[in-house]
Chains A and B, each alone.
Chain A
Amino acid sequence: MPEANRKGYFPGVSVAYRISEESFFKNSTALGFISDFRIRGSFAEVGNIAIGRFRYLGQYSAAVYGGQSGIGFSNIGNPALRWEEQKKYDLGLELGFLDGRINFIADYFRQDNDKIVLSAPTAPSLGVPGNSIVQNVGNIRNSGFELGINAEVLRKGDFTWSSSFNFTTQKNKVLALFNNEDQIGAYNIIRVGESINALYGYQYLGVAPANGNPLYQKANGTIIQGRISNQAYYTYDPANPNQYYNSALPISASNPDNRATLASSDRSVLGSVLPKWFGGFNNTFTYKGIDLNVLLRYQGGNLIYNRTRTDLVNQNFVNNGTEILGRWKSVAEPGDGVTPSVYFGRSTFINLDNQAYTRFVEKGDFLRLDNLSLGYKIPSKALNKISVGSVRIYASAQNLFVITGYKGLDPETNTNGAGVDYNGNPQQRTFTFGINLGI
């Protein structure tokens, strides 16, 4: 931080009230089935130190020219940089039933991130190193409900089954930005009132059945087609799909000027890349020395931009996926209605390589079997002869399967926080076998 702003003040307070300890509660028979009841709330303000080193300082670093050593301006200084402030609010209650056999937790949380230290982009024509300045850029709110229930479901003889289930909702909203200006990236936008890094792109309407051209909807509702043969856009008239303005002839009823453009202003917010709901379902079964743990995890409400799929239908006739088989071939064979006609070398025009549009936007909902493990604890009677305290052998599998409608490798692939899956790696499936030895 610049010298003037190095000191920060971060208070926190929390309060809890165990109602169940109150005498009126303990003496009440009607509320006897509730073994524990606590209400709690907390407020904390924290700073954030994970913001990089010396970002407030104007710096020169090494800049070599051929064989000549030099230094060059490499970071623009911001003497007004301040601490980030995160204000966390939490309000919750915990209920216990049947002597703690069933527990229920409900929370409402809200986190306001204010004065976030982020690289605010600058116009490249200003030539700022990295085209960004570290600024306190804005205010983002993350809020939601968290519900959880865990219980010892069954205890009969040597068999027990305990289970816990939780469900969280998340709502993310940008409340304020530097000058309240949109920050627009290639596929995302940070805009006040939307969730952060929402997908931002064009509306795709499929393939024109008469000629295989891709169809888009402009911001004003007009439908246009991208004519692949000359890489220009024209207004689409379904009754006259192959009518294109001919500049060599005069404008007439049979030669209207139906030229169009697909402009940056035709983009709109396509949806949030942050999940709106998620949670898990954990079950543990034990029978004598055997224990079995099953953990399911689910998440959804977010969109993913499947950029990998864009490259798999590239027009360089290399590295195509099977989706290309569904392309438009002729009026008699219109294909899957989503993949336009092919033309060598024209990926930028046909697939809008460096922009987002609804053709490659997919839902990211999934249900995953995160952990399945089976273990056996050898009875201590058998171990008395060797002076070993305890032995447990186990086998476990992580990420055994995932159920999802997402066409990419994994709906939880690394996306650089922007919801764009560009050649991301899937989660690994791991099998582990082992022995726990206690001596």
Chain B
Amino acid sequence: MRKNIKYVLTNKVFIAFTIALFLGVSSCKNFTDITPDNTLAENDAYSNDQRALAAITGVYSAAQSSPYTDGSNRGYPFGAANTIQGDMRGEDLIAVPSFFAITNENTHDVTTANNTAMWTSLFATINRANEVIEKLVAASAAGTVTQAVSLKGQAEARFLRALSYHELLVLFARPYNHTVGATHLGVPIREVANNTPQRVEENRNAPRNTVAQCYSFILADLDFAETNLTATNGSTSLTITRATKGAAVALKTRIKLHMGDYAGVITEGTKLGTSAASGPYASATPYAVYRLTASPDGPFSSTAANYGNTESIFSIEHSTIRNAGTNGSLSTMLSRAPGRALIAISPIIWNQPFWRADDLRRTLLTGTDVPPAVSRSYFSLKYKDVPTFTDANPIIRYAEVLLNVAEAYSRITALDVRALNLLNAVRNRSVTLAANQFTIASFATGITLTQAILNERRIEFLGEGRRYPDIHRLALDPNFGTNGIPSKVTYAAATFASYNTSTPYAGARAIAAIPYDINATNGFKFIWPIPQVETNTNPVLAAQQNPGY
């Protein structure tokens, strides 16, 4: 009897168990079918125009700040870092110890943080741009996003991609004229997004492309951008902080100058009004109207001016909720106390006779420590928002277009009056006494005029990160080249007494020059290495490391 009951019980238990099992199985699927609450699945991000527009803004977000080596937000690549690094690699600004000392003193190697972060953040921006381009093309083909939004979005992404590639070439590859036809190594061109493991597998072995291929790629992007961007973006602020037709053209004047294509620079500049016989210069339809501000500090007089002036063509926007913080912002780094005053002006540029003592840029855009602090150095005053870091990072402005075209005219035709007029348009708003302004008679040869234009760039763009790109493109120039990175003054040697506006600086320059020639000692340091985080994970690029590292 005992055995029977046992049998019945187990039978019932068995049936109950099986029923429960089937019930359980049918509801299993719903339990595990969940979607995240605080993120969008990739396939949902382009389901309508509104989301697509947000994704396009996301590319600017990556350009403004992709993660630093420790994951923090420090304005790499274009929030602040390109400007700071571009100046720290040059000789016109000094690293007050020891924040940017490694970049300033050329003691970088494959592991140092600043150069590593520029590499990783630039490629992060490029991949995000590629992702948006790919998804926009698919979405407009599928009809979820309108064609207008898709084309403009692709143009914006391609503009940022071109900007990123040019930055990579200036930092990690030799200049365009290093070899005839630029056949030397550039960086790997990423044309498709790496957004699935299969794509990563397909693209991980791509080698470095040549510099010529990279520049072609950049120009193709900018040509597409010029065609498909609009002249303005609604408000003055958005016209400055988002890509426009005029921005694509302005950037092309810079790119073609780096390529040595002076005729090309003039053609592009003409679109923005630089071919007028004389000033004042301004661009017109189909581009936004750009013109120089009356005063040289027009784009910098306040943070409101940063986003509302007539001269800025493209700047990166910062706000109180999204900025480069106290460890990366331009205002913190370049400003005197209460800023951190970690980047000071060097007596090398300060004492240059070509920068007149009465130049308005000295009084309006530079200053020394505020009393009761003892004056120790001169600092740039371009970036004023020290407490909340909302200054824009000026990527390109109309003054640079004018000087790019001036240099192009001057190099093609000696003592070209158009070059002089463009130079004067920028210079005469700072050198206001007619007796001190240039006339064609001020220059004996075409070379002296070109030299004056190059000098003007150093004064006008002090603190805007253009010095190293100029050193880079001029390295092999027979007349104007510095043949490498010039020697620099250390902060310790640049005492207040060493600054004066009459005699060129002749004191000690403890930071040795870096020769351009790779066979000279430390010549390999002229360009940055591919960082170790890359060579550890990429044997193809590890084999193509810049020589000497």
Contacts and interface: CB of A to CB of B under 8 A. Distances in A.
B401 interface: no
B536 A184 contact: yes
A65 B57 contact: yes
B318 A128 contact: no
Interface string B167-199: 000000000000000000001101000111100
Interface in A47-94: 53-54, 57-61, 63-80
A124 B98 contact: no
Given A123-B204, A316-B97, A345-B101, A71 B40 contact: yes
Contacts of A348: 102, 107-109, 111-112
Return the 5 tightest CB-CB contacts between A and B, nearest first: A127-B127, A66-B317, A70-B57, A72-B58, A58-B42
A261 B132 CA distance: 42
Contacts of B51: 71
Interface in B352-395: none
- The CB with the most chain A CB atoms within 10 A, among B58, B113, B203, B321, is that of B58
B61 A128 contact: no
Given A64-B321, A125-B188, A127-B126, A247 B541 contact: no
B111 A353 contact: yes
Given A61-B39, A63-B57, A63-B62, A184 B537 contact: yes
B200 interface: yes
A346 interface: yes
B111 A133 contact: no
A222 interface: no
A264 B126 CA distance: 27
B123 A126 contact: yes
A126 B39 contact: no
A354 interface: yes
Contact of B55 (A60, A67, A135): A60
A123 B520 contact: no
B145 to A, nearest CB: 14
B39 A74 contact: yes
A218 to B, nearest CB: 15
Nearest to A3: B33
B475 interface: no
B534 interface: yes
Interface residues of A, number: 59
A232 interface: yes
A284 B313 CA distance: 78
A63 B131 CA distance: 14
Contact of A54 (B36, B67, B535, B542): B36
Interface string B23-62: 0000000001100101111110100000100111111111
Contacts of B62: 63, 72
A122 interface: yes
Contact of B60 (A65, A125, A131, A316): A65
A125 B112 contact: no
Contacts of B195: 58, 73, 76-77
Interface residues on B, range: 35 or more
B42 A60 contact: yes
A136 B109 CA distance: 33
Given A58-B42, A63-B61, A68-B317, A73 B123 contact: no
Contacts of B404: none
Nearest to A75: B39
A216 B464 CA distance: 41
Contacts of B57: 63, 65, 68-71
A79 B195 CA distance: 12
A72 B321 CA distance: 17
A72 B319 contact: no
B237 to A, nearest CB: 9
Contact of A124 (B54, B105, B531, B548): B531
A6 interface: yes
B128 A73 contact: yes
Contacts of A59: 36, 39-42
B522 interface: yes
B263 interface: no
Contacts of B111: 186, 348, 353-355
Contacts of A167: none
Given A64-B321, A73-B195, A125-B119, A57 B538 contact: no
Given A57-B41, A66-B322, A126 B194 contact: yes
B421 interface: no
B119 A349 contact: no
23 contacts: A59-B39, A60-B55, A61-B39, A64-B319, A65-B61, A66-B317, A67-B321, A70-B61, A71-B45, A71-B51, A75-B39, A76-B194, A76-B195, A76-B200, A77-B42, A79-B196, A80-B197, A124-B120, A125-B188, A127-B124, A129-B124, A264-B536, A348-B108
Interface in B197-214: 197, 200, 203-204
A128 B204 CA distance: 11
Contacts of B522: 230-232
Given A57-B42, A65-B241, A185-B536, 20 more contacts: A60-B41, A61-B40, A63-B58, A63-B62, A72-B62, A73-B195, A79-B196, A122-B204, A125-B538, A126-B123, A126-B190, A127-B194, A128-B200, A129-B124, A131-B120, A184-B537, A261-B549, A345-B105, A348-B111, A355-B532
A279 interface: no
Contacts of B112: 348, 354
B123 A135 contact: no
